[in-house]
Amino acid sequence: MGLAKRIIPCLDVDAGRVVKGVNFIGIRDAGDPVEIAQRYNQQGADEITFLDITASHEDRDTTVEMVERIAGEVFIPLTVGGGIRSCDDIRTMLNAGADKVSINTAAVTNPDFVYEAAERFGSQCIVVAIDAKKVSAEGEPDRWEIFTHGGRRPTGLDAVEWARKMVAYGAGELLLTSMDRDGTKVGFDLGVTRAIADAVSVPVIASGGVGNLDHLVDGVIEGGADAVLAASIFHFGEYTIPEAKRYMANHGIEMRL
Amino acid sequence: MTIAVIDYGMGNLHSVAKALEHVTHENVVVTRDARRIRGATRLVLPGQGAIRDCMGELEKTELRGLVEELLASQDKPLLGICVGQQMLLDHSEENGGIGCLGFLRGEVRKFPGDMRDDRDNRLKVPHMGWNLVHQHHDHPLWKGIDQDEHFYFVHSYYVEAADDATVFGTTDYGRVSAHVAIGRDATFAVQFHPEKSSRAGLQLLENFVQWAP
């Protein structure tokens, strides 16, 4: 008995609505973020991640207001990501009630930003989001590379090396998304999950590709993830959080039931 | 009736204030004003990040003397959270060794880096997530909270109090049994984050608001 593995439902929010795309294309409306966050909190979610996928500035203010409303109602950790580019952005989100922020593209374009952010706000609230894609061909040793811009732009960075570097720069946690799996419902990329979980000292959240509860179990047992993140299996009512937790516990995983 | 969350510049105090507002109609203020802190009926001492920075900011804001005076007098309830718990001890191993407030005897130690779970996976540091809190002695702040309840943690250093009578709760992580709830007189302090620990955490905050030591 000890530290529980976490289930983290993820809200992808665009202009104040929860949406879910398949491979970052093809958006489907899933409802009001505050209502959904409350529902997941009541169901026993261990954390909530809120990813702001909006581009415009006006919508950014809507996001801040959403975060404030969720933080006033939901007393579990709340991570906010999407468009975090400066210490001011971090300050704004923490003041709105976020507990952690997730830094993605800005970490790739300016790794020192992660260092500055961790120095200023503490590693405990700095999550670095890593979007990785398998680039090795069949028969070659496995290799994954970092992609930005929703999986469209390769960076040439090796995912495992990058994960190590981000932890050295002060990341307190890594949110690892497999870009070729995201939205496909065929399960996490367990290879990259295991490679990164073994390479770093901080917790790793597995994300991208969950289609059923066995995938969550695999992410923890085979992938070595400390937490699993999923969106659509929960948003569209295929599974509830308690079902998922009980299923994982029945497979010998320590859970908070 | 005012609850003052002491703001010496470290960390995010909004979560604590919002959770307190959720469990009480009493006035909750986030403040570094000495007069308002003195005038409050209850105090919350939060803390986040490195202990060197927390102790440093406490000095810089000239609140260290006031906090020490309030701890010495014990005339109003005080709740320490996270680094706000660690600061109550004599000393911390963090940042090459930092002297703390010395209200309770003991040390703040770093989790060993070589711990593994029963599947031989490396145990991560920070200790982050939901873990069980084992209640040792009865305390009004445990009222309505189950034995071995889950609370939310984020920390790389843990408290080892010298006097067992000051230890109210422990949490196991690897081979470490951390003293995650400590206190004496009108002071109670926890390593976990009650403001992020859902129902059990809100219950603890409500117990604190009603506590009349």
Q: Which of A46, A75, A218 to mutate to test the interface with B (most CBs of B within 10 A)?
A: A75
Using the beta-carbon criterion (under 8 Å), do A203 and B128 form an inter-chain contact?
Answer: yes
Using the beta-carbon criterion (under 8 Å), do B172 and A97 form an inter-chain contact?
Answer: no
- Looking at the partner chain, which of A75, A99, A201 has a beta carbon nearest the beta carbon of B198? A75
Copy the structure tokens of residue A22.
Answer: 């398949």
User: Could you tell me if B22 and B204 are in contact, meaning their C-beta atoms sit under 8 angstroms apart?
Assistant: no
- Looking at the partner chain, which of A41, A77, A227 has a beta carbon nearest the beta carbon of B152? A77
Sign of the alpha-carbon torsion through A46, B202, B58, B95: negative
Local confidence band at A231 (pLDDT 50, 70, 90 cut-offs): confident
pLDDT, mean of residues A69-78: 93
Hey, how many other C-beta atoms are within 10 angstroms of the C-beta on A137?
A: 7
Question: Cα angle at B197 between A188 and B202, to 5 degrees?
Answer: 150
Range list of β-strands (E), chain B: 2-6, 27-31, 42-45, 78-81, 91-92, 98-99, 106-110, 127-135, 149-155, 157-161, 167-173, 176-184, 187-190
Sign of the alpha-carbon torsion through A173, A179, A184, A187: negative
Residue A202 distance to chain B (closest CA, Å): 5
Give CA separation, B66 vs A136, B37, B176, in Å.
Answer: 61, 9, 33
Task: Provide the number of structural domains found in chain B.
Answer: 1
Task: Kindly report the pTM of this predicted structure.
Answer: 0.94
Using the beta-carbon criterion (under 8 Å), do B130 and A46 form an inter-chain contact?
Answer: yes
Residue A98 distance to chain B (closest CA, Å): 8
At A118-137, the pLDDT tens digits run 988 889 899 999 999 999 99
Residue B184 distance to chain A (closest CA, Å): 27
pLDDT (tens, 9 = 90+) of chain B, 213 residues, equals: 899 999 988 767 888 999 999 999 999 999 999 999 999 999 999 988 888 889 999 999 999 999 999 999 999 999 999 999 999 999 999 988 999 999 999 999 999 988 988 888 889 999 999 999 999 999 999 999 999 999 999 999 999 999 999 999 999 999 999 999 999 999 999 999 999 999 999 999 999 999 999
CA distance A20 to A12: 6
CA distance B190 to B182: 7
Hey, how many other C-beta atoms are within 10 angstroms of the C-beta on B95?
A: 13
* Active site annotation includes A99: no
Which chain B residue lies closest to A225 (C-alpha atoms)?
B121
- Percentage of residues of chain A with pLDDT beyond 90: 70
Amino acid sitting at position A105: T
Using the beta-carbon criterion (under 8 Å), do B18 and A72 form an inter-chain contact?
Answer: yes
CA distance A75 to A72: 8
Supply the range of the domain harboring residue B52: 2-210
Give CA separation, A76 vs A45, A93, A204, in Å.
Answer: 8, 16, 18
Residues 6+ apart with CB under 8 A from A95: B12, B14
Using the beta-carbon criterion (under 8 Å), do B48 and A124 form an inter-chain contact?
Answer: yes
* Chain A residues with beta carbon closer than 8 angstroms to that of B172: 1-2
Give how far the C-alpha of residue B72 lies from the chain's centroid of Cα atoms, to the nearest Å: 17
In this prediction, residue A58 carries a pLDDT of: 67
Sheet of strand B98-99: strand arrangement: B98-99, B91-92, B106-110, B157-161
CATH code of residue B73 = 3.40.50.880
At A167-204, the pLDDT tens digits run 999 999 999 999 988 878 899 999 999 999 999 999 99
Using the beta-carbon criterion (under 8 Å), do B150 and A256 form an inter-chain contact?
Answer: yes
Residue B122 distance to chain A (closest CA, Å): 7
